[in-house]
Amino acid sequence: MTDTAGTRTLAHPERAEIRLEDVLQALADPMRLCVVRELAASEVEQACSSFALPVTKSTTTHHFRVLRESGVVRQCYQGTAKMNELRRDDLEALFPGLLDGILAAAAAEESRLRAEG
């Protein structure tokens, strides 16, 4: 959307509209889980373009839209860049410990698979 002032807004679910099913679906994709792990490790918002996922631009856009529409990330424009941050507070309020549990599981799996070579 572009209004007359040139600002654009992106649709996000309110906290109360976030559903576990959608959050799990969003995190069940390895590429999206990778994005979420990076966002979790980062102190600051990250531009979509900073991730350089090994997929096309339109697929990258799709993945970020799924993350936004599920309530996992909040996106806003800064100039032409779409910036992303994890909705940690919202997820923690709804599902205490869930995000950290999934991040820990992802880290455990990565370590295990690396050890197996």
Q: Where are the beta strands (DSSP E) in the chain?
A: 46-47, 73-78, 81-86
CB 111, min distance to a second copy, A: 11
Q: In terms of residues, how long is the chain?
A: 117
Of the two residues 6 and 30, which places its CB atom closer to a second copy in the complex?
30
CB 113, min distance to a second copy, A: 9
Residue entry with tokens 């531009």: 47
CB 54, min distance to a second copy, A: 16
CB 105, min distance to a second copy, A: 4
Binding site for a second copy (CB under 8 A): 16, 19-21, 24-25, 27-30, 33, 94-98, 101-102, 104-106, 108-109, 112, 116
Torsion, Cα of 87, 90, 95, 100 (10° steps): 30
DSSP at 45? -
Of the two residues 8 and 19, which places its CB atom closer to a second copy in the complex?
19
Q: How far apart are CA 48 and CA 53, in angstroms?
A: 9
Of the two residues 5 and 16, which places its CB atom closer to a second copy in the complex?
16
